[in-house]
Amino acid sequence: MPGSLDYDTPEYYGKRIRMVKEQIESRGINDKAVLDAMLNVPRHIFVPSGERRYAYEDRPLPIGNGATISQPYIVGLMTCLLELSSGDRVLEIGTGSGYQAAVAAQIASEVISFERVEELVRFSEENLKKAGISNVRVYFGDGTHIPTECGLFDAVIVTAASPVMPEYLIKILKEGGRLVVPVGDQFSQMLVKVKLVNKNPVVTYHGGVRFVPLIGEKGWTL
């Protein structure tokens, strides 16, 4: 019913306005498409009910199964680094609650997301449906082993820490494509962006971050 925690309300919208202004825009992210996307996506829908009172605070939150939803600033920063446009096809590795995919889907035409925890696949799909987002497809499987039939992507985002630079993801970028990924050990990483320019990867670094480890064939093992 309208007004329940599963729906947007004027109170939540007001909190979202403050989140975007105070946590995202004030820290130098001024891409209007990204700011609008984060204003439009009801973040509280993408966290467990017990955490919703904290949904618009500047911090990560637990979503179960050892996973988290990243703090709003990091979501904004990574989305900005992706340089998304309306025709882009995006791959996400690590769906989690579905929030990062939802933000990207506000700008791009299609988001394909892989999640290795079956419970989170269901959770994210439910959240995306509640938020009215229909251009995200979530798959259960190892995101470090992308089927060749998925094709090439304009942008790839990894929301877990890769132990090394994921060369296998650079190979599935289109010309001009962008990859954003945290790289490092299981306790601290560097946020890395790779852009394919004239078939050559151009690498830039965007500060220290801390993500859960990327588990899979080409990530960390359990």
The whole-angstrom separation of Cα 33 and Cα 155 is 16
108, 109, 90, 100: which is closest to 151 by C-alpha?
A: 90
The pair of structure tokens assigned to 4 is 């329940």
Q: 220 φ, ψ to 5°?
A: -85, 155
The pair of structure tokens assigned to 11 is 């109170």
**Length of the chain, please?**
222
70 is catalytic: yes
89 in Cβ contact with 73 (< 8 Å): no
Q: Which residue of the set 4, 26, 49, 70 is catalytic?
A: 70
Q: What SS3 class is residue 152?
A: coil
The whole-angstrom separation of Cα 65 and Cα 70 is 15
The helix (H) or strand (E) run that includes residue 123 is helix 118-130
142, 150, 136, 68: which is closest to 108 by C-alpha?
A: 136
The pair of structure tokens assigned to 168 is 């296998």
What is the DSSP code (8-state) at residue 50?
G
* Residues identified as active-site: 70
